[in-house]
Structure 1
Amino acid sequence: MDLFIELGILIAASALISIVMRILRQPLIIGYIITGFIVGPYVFNIAQSEEVIRIFAELGIAFLLFIVGLNLSPKVFKEVGVPSLVTGLGQIVFTSVIGYIIVQLFGFDVLTSWYIAIALTFSSTIIILKLLSDKGDMETLYGKISIGFLLLQDVVATIILIVAASSRLGESGGGAVLQNVLLLLGKGAVLTVVLILISTKVLSRLTGFLGRSQELLFMFSIGWGLGVAALFYSLGLSIEVGALIGGVALALSPFHHEMSAKMRPLRDFFIVVFFIFLGSQLSVADLQSVLVPALILSAFVLVGNPLIVMALMGAMGYRKRTGFFAGLTVAQISEFSLILILLGIKNGQIAQSALSLVTVVGVVTIAASTYMILYADKLYAWLGRVFSIFERTHPKERTGDAAKRAYETILFGCNRTGHDIVEVLSREGRDLLVVDYNPEIISYLRGKGITCVYGDAEDAEFVEELRPWEAKMVISTIAEPEGALLLLEKIRSRSSDTIVILTSQDIPEAERLYKEGVSYVIMPHFLGATYAAELLRKNKFASESFAFEKTKHLSYLETKKQRGHTHPHIEKFEM
């Protein structure tokens, strides 16, 4: 069959199956793998140009890892707080050890067992960010903690991929294993340092020139990513590690966001082929032999991983709801898991059957966990009482003495908009209670003598303890639809007099809130436009007035910067 026709059929088939996946509210990754199985040699045998598809798949991995590297700047470590660090590392250790024991019971050799066990530890950052974004949970307490430990997983996965890639030269046995691994790691470390120096000392001077042309920036990104990958490969390292390091070297560039955005369409196309290739490697015989182990390992990932996270977060003092919701985000395996297994096969260290096993685990866990996350509220309502064993008697998220009396005003969320509201209400001497899930904000408010509690506004039990319906006014600056409706429902079911001010980023959602009985909806972007229009009306063409506004605004921005506030960055996640 002609290669062009073959690729056309592959893409058309994946598009049709992707439509079905979208209707079923499933990540498209599953559709791509199913497409690969259908067009592969064991069903319709349409994908006959295996070598070409394999090269396309390797390009997909290279582009994916290059973009991951672009986003692994030092800022990542700043974003990963202590709860995320403890939970992330703890989950990786417990999952890999328990997973290894389970895999060993099925008769796999030691090295294969470790490969599979480690593959079970990683969760898909892309899929989880997409689901959190769709649910509007990016700014919740569990969302922040989950994003933190998913970023940590990406860093750990990067290190493991580098070690796995370097281990392929350690097949000669004895002391040569360690010697070859250290030699390869040394080469990689030296080359990485050289590339970072080139990026910071040489390329930094060219970024202005490159940034003036979007096409040039795009071509430079491709050339740099593939060029570094080829350089690593020529020195005995892997293409995957080369692409990853190529991205890391550019992570400090002021244009790394633009490079990442430009590369995403290319990554998306080739990564589709990668998952199709994975699906085409599945055979009916392999599926029959790995089905039982795959289902048991899937159950471990779907149930065991969330329980591990809940236990760790409960030990740190978080409420059972926060632990449960965060735990669901690790109830599937990642694209890194599949790449790791492919790397092991390429190194000749594990058998092809391991890929079939982990791919089936991937399909099952991604499909099931997607529904678990989408219907997490109903699951929690059903199972919430069972999870009390994971919650301390006096959890970190507790109302304490704050719940012993009613307040004139309760504010949920003290970042950005909320900070300004606190400043105004404090100056007026209002009887104010602030609720926030950021420990730094809580410490800051307590230092200012402002009454505050640490907790999540979406936790129904926590909100119930605060009795917001007894307040004269309740304000929430958290633009999460479900949380806003929960708060409004709690208040309006007991009080029609309380003034309720909520926040929304969406017009239909704001209209819905008004219908449900909210007093006023804050829409930050529209308020900003209204303020700017009023500024233009008032100042007209008076340059001295704008100079005054400029000075005032710069002072305001400096205060915001000192408080660690940033303008929200909205990004769509698709996979």
Structure 2
Amino acid sequence: MQSINVQFFGLLVVAVLFVWFFKRIGLPPILAYLATGVLAGSHGIGWMAHTHEIDFVAELGIVFLLFSLGLEFSISRLMAMRNIVFGLGSLQVVVTSLILIVVLYCLNFSLLTSFAISIIMALSSTAVVVKLLKETGELNQRRGQLAVGVLLFQDIAVVPLLIILPLLASSDSQSISWALAFALTKGAFVCLLLWAIGKWILPKVFNEIALVRTDELFVLTTLLVALFAALLTYMFGLSMALGAFLAGMMLGESHYRHQLEADIRPFRDILMGLFFVTVGMQLNLLYVFSNGLFIIGALLGLLILKITVVAISAQLMGERRQDALACAIMLWQMGEFGFVLIALSGQQQLLTSDQTSFLIALGVLSMAFTPFLIDKTPLILKRLGVLKRASMGWENEPKSSALYSNHVVICGFSRVGQTIARFLKPEAIEYVAIESNPILVQEGKAAGEPVIFGHVKQKDILKCAGVERARLVIITFTEFEQTQIVIDAIKQIAPEVKILIRTRDDSQLEKLKELGVTEVVPETLEASLMLVSHVLSMSGVPMSRIVRRVSKERRNRYKFLQSFFSGEHIDSDENNSDRLEYLHVIALPDKAFAVNKSISELNLTKRRVFIKALRRQDREIDAPSDQTLLLANDILVLQGKPRRVERVEHYLLDGIE
């Protein structure tokens, strides 16, 4: 037991050092975890044994990942995406598999071996792609929806494949048909069971948990629900990840989904890291070096084939070329379920040991190169002539400080930060916000806001926001200890920049002035308005204009200040929740009920929910008129009280009142 503890401690130390080093040189953490596994595995130093227990714990990372993904996809949204899931998804798997079967069979592989290898290579990595989509906030973008739709079909397809491969080895066709029919029956039963539990039991459970107001109990209940759903499908011989996804999708209908995602994230990220470590442990570097040319050739072939198939299939279904190619680049790699099928095929003697090693090397390397290719996708599309410039139709996330000059940096993009941004935008004052809450980053970027994900106390993040060339830096949070760290980091990079800070009161006023803060705004009943007045004044806006705008907000009873992207922190106080309005971003899939209907036809004002803005491809429409026709792939910014917004979201997607 002591030696095992030492091994895990060593693994943790190496993982921390590798993640820190890879982030310092601009590489994603996934590569750090893979490198840790290569070093720790039997083909590296070999201090960690690759056991079944480690694989099981690592698989929980995929379970939690699919659970959090399910929270993003309600039944209404999934049904609206059925063309992507069952259309593009099935087309990608079938076409890719058939081409690979023909190629491998022509290379003198047996038909069964060709089938096994082609299916393994046709699958993509949900773990890698969804993690990167969440980090970059692209889950609501069209390219992100296309990728997730294909991945969902692949995850569903794994279930019959786990049944088919052993039966193919036994060459009993009658057994295959009976087993598939039995599996489909079990799957339908489990889905109905989870749907019933999620519809009628879980909302009541979480209502009771929320009333207790104990964070630990809420977290424990969330973990229990995800693991229970995974265990239920596992007991029926289905994928644990599929059960977790279904449970998350049921809870995605509730207003607790943001808090659930926030609670599950730490466990998900840690266990996902362990999963990638176990993947790296399977890579034999000596085998890679000795067969390097063949592996590189196979990687290039896999890259070209899957990108071509996905891109052409998506364009045939009417998708924009840039979205089709971006989705194809995301899905070119082999997936984590491929490793499960590799092990199963090896046990059934469908693959030789050399073929197994080759596929493992191919899978690990393809997953390792994926973050780099996704990061360089705008540049790739520009080189291919799909984009006129690398930022067109893409996220406006700044990649370097050179993108901004004489701008305003907003540290924190919650309620106060969003208020400041809304006042800066009409004045054509350039700004960029830094936020560490990935939900807020995702919502903000989907609405077209220039938001960077990161912690403001990190100098690299401040440099990325161009602090050294900013006209003003605004710190919107009030924790004094954190504020001191941020001020010190800012002053080391840009000693002369003006700093405006918000505080709860004036108790630390003198200390903040000594630290070099230009202006301190103590929080009062009109803290947001006072802060905006200072921001606009220091940004060069005439005082008469400021007075007019602030007076207008007072006359309007502060309506402009009462709705915000809520992020993950939804107040469980029923009275407070019903009093405040918030903003929510929703993307309209092809089959959504609201597509090709005008705003007046939908009669949203009767439901007291308003469309504040509309983003269509590469342009934004602020305050669209009632005659505006909604189109597929439009991104809407809804304003209203939480329960009303959720009801309207379902109405826009499936037409159910």
User: TM-score of the superposition, structure 2-length normalised?
Assistant: 0.56
The question of 1:149 aligning with 2:78 is answered no
CA contact (8 A) 1:85 1:148 kept: no
Greater displacement, 308-317 / 365-374: 308-317
- CA-CA distance at 1:198 after TM superposition: 1.9
Q: Which has the higher contact order (CA 8 A, sep 6+)?
A: 1
Structure 2 residue runs without a partner (length 5+) = 406-425, 435-461, 472-526, 533-546, 563-578, 582-603, 613-625, 640-657
- CA-CA distance at 1:194 after TM superposition: 1.6
1:64-103 aligned within 5 A: 64-77=65-78, 80=81, 89-103=90-104
- CA-CA distance at 1:199 after TM superposition: 1.9
Structure 1 residue runs without a partner (length 5+) = 388-457, 464-475, 489-498, 516-527, 569-575
Tell me what 1:163 maps to.
160
Question: What is the CA–CA distance in structure 2 between the aligned matches of 1:183 and 1:18, rounded to whole Å?
Answer: 45
- CA-CA distance at 1:129 after TM superposition: 6.1
CA contact (8 A) 1:10 1:39 kept: yes
Question: What is the CA–CA distance in structure 1 between the aligned matches of 2:203 and 2:232, rounded to whole Å?
Answer: 21
Cα deviations by residue, 1:485-521 (Å, 9 ceiling, x for unpaired): 9999xxxxxxxxxx99586543885889999xxxxxx
Between the aligned residues of both structures, percent identity stands at 22
Question: What is the CA–CA distance in structure 2 between the aligned matches of 1:276 and 1:101, rounded to whole Å?
Answer: 34
User: TM-score of the superposition, structure 1-length normalised?
Assistant: 0.63
- CA-CA distance at 1:197 after TM superposition: 0.7
CA contact (8 A) 2:379 2:390 kept: no
- CA-CA distance at 1:205 after TM superposition: 1.9
* Closer, same or farther: CA 548–487 of 1 in aligned 2, 3 Å: closer
Tell me what 1:459 maps to.
388
Tell me what 2:224 maps to.
223
CA contact (8 A) 1:18 1:32 kept: yes
Tell me what 1:195 maps to.
194
- CA-CA distance at 1:299 after TM superposition: 0.5
Report the residue type matching 2:637 in the other structure.
T
* Closer, same or farther: CA 168–267 of 1 in aligned 2, 3 Å: farther
Question: What is the CA–CA distance in structure 1 between the aligned matches of 2:351 and 2:159, rounded to whole Å?
Answer: 17
Tell me what 1:207 maps to.
206
Tell me what 1:177 maps to.
176
Report the residue type matching 2:188 in the other structure.
A
CA contact (8 A) 1:122 1:153 kept: no
In the alignment of these two chains, the number of paired residues is 458
- CA-CA distance at 1:529 after TM superposition: 5.0
- CA-CA distance at 1:40 after TM superposition: 1.7
Report the residue type matching 1:308 in the other structure.
V
Cα deviations by residue, 1:11-44 (Å, 9 ceiling, x for unpaired): 2222223334334433322332332222222332
Tell me what 2:51 maps to.
50
Question: What is the CA–CA distance in structure 2 between the aligned matches of 1:69 and 1:135, rounded to whole Å?
Answer: 18
- CA-CA distance at 1:252 after TM superposition: 3.1
Cα deviations by residue, 1:145-183 (Å, 9 ceiling, x for unpaired): 311211112220221122234447747624122212322
Question: What is the CA–CA distance in structure 1 between the aligned matches of 2:394 and 2:107, rounded to whole Å?
Answer: 52
- CA-CA distance at 1:383 after TM superposition: 4.5
Cα deviations by residue, 1:115-147 (Å, 9 ceiling, x for unpaired): 4333434444664566678778x49xxx83311
The question of 1:565 aligning with 2:630 is answered no
Secondary structure of the 2:74 match is coil
Question: What is the CA–CA distance in structure 2 between the aligned matches of 1:96 and 1:353, rounded to whole Å?
Answer: 21
- CA-CA distance at 1:5 after TM superposition: 0.3
CA contact (8 A) 1:192 1:249 kept: no
Secondary structure of the 1:333 match is coil
Tell me what 1:394 maps to.
none
Cα deviations by residue, 1:288-338 (Å, 9 ceiling, x for unpaired): 686555323311232333333444456567776565545433343344444
- CA-CA distance at 1:190 after TM superposition: 1.1
Tell me what 1:445 maps to.
none
The question of 1:332 aligning with 2:261 is answered no
1:164-563 aligned within 5 A: 164-167=161-164, 170=167, 173-211=172-210, 212-283=213-284, 287=288, 291=292, 293-312=294-313, 324-342=325-343, 356-380=357-381, 382-384=383-385, 459-460=388-389, 479=396, 481=398, 501=428, 504-506=431-433, 529-530=528-529, 538=551, 545=557, 558-560=609-611
Question: What is the CA–CA distance in structure 2 between the aligned matches of 1:315 and 1:336, rounded to whole Å?
Answer: 28
Root-mean-square deviation (CA), in Å? 5.0
Question: What is the CA–CA distance in structure 2 between the aligned matches of 1:461 and 1:17, rounded to whole Å?
Answer: 30
Secondary structure of the 2:283 match is coil
* Closer, same or farther: CA 29–482 of 1 in aligned 2, 3 Å: closer
